[in-house]
Amino acid sequence: MARIHPSAVVDPAARLADDVEVGPFAVVGPHVAIGPGTVIGPHAVVTGHTTLGARNRVFQFTSIGEIPQDRKYGGEPTRTSIGDDNVFREFVSIHAGTAQDRGVTSIGDGNWLLGYVHIAHDCVVGNRTTFSNNSQLAGHVVVDDWVVLGGFAGVHQFCRLVEHSMAAAGSIVLQDIPPFVTAAGYPAKAAGTNNEGLRRRGFTPEQILAVRRAYKVLYRGGHSLDDAKLKLADMARDEPALAPLVAFLAVPGRGIVR
- Residue tagged active-site, from 43, 49, 95, 121: 121
- Residue tagged active-site, from 23, 65, 115, 139: 139
Residue 122 catalytic? yes
Residue 18 catalytic? no
Cα–Cα nearest to 244, from 235, 188, 225, 69:
235
Q: Are residues 32 and 12 in contact, defined by beta-carbon separation less than 8 angstroms?
A: no
Q: Are residues 182 and 198 in contact, defined by beta-carbon separation less than 8 angstroms?
A: no
Residue 92: C-alpha distances to residues 10, 15, 115, 164 (Å): 20, 22, 6, 23
Hey, is 44 helix, strand or coil? coil
Q: How far is it, in rounded angstroms, from Cα 229 to Cα 47?
A: 45
- Residue tagged active-site, from 70, 122, 145, 176: 122
Q: How far is it, in rounded angstroms, from Cα 194 to Cα 228?
A: 20
Residue 121 catalytic? yes
Q: Beta strand 142-143 with 79-82: parallel, antiparallel or unpaired?
A: unpaired
Hey, is 80 helix, strand or coil? strand
Q: How many CB atoms lie within 10 A of CB 50?
A: 24
Looking at the DSSP bridge assignments, the partners of residue 88 are 58, 113
Q: Which residues are annotated as catalytic?
A: 121-122, 139
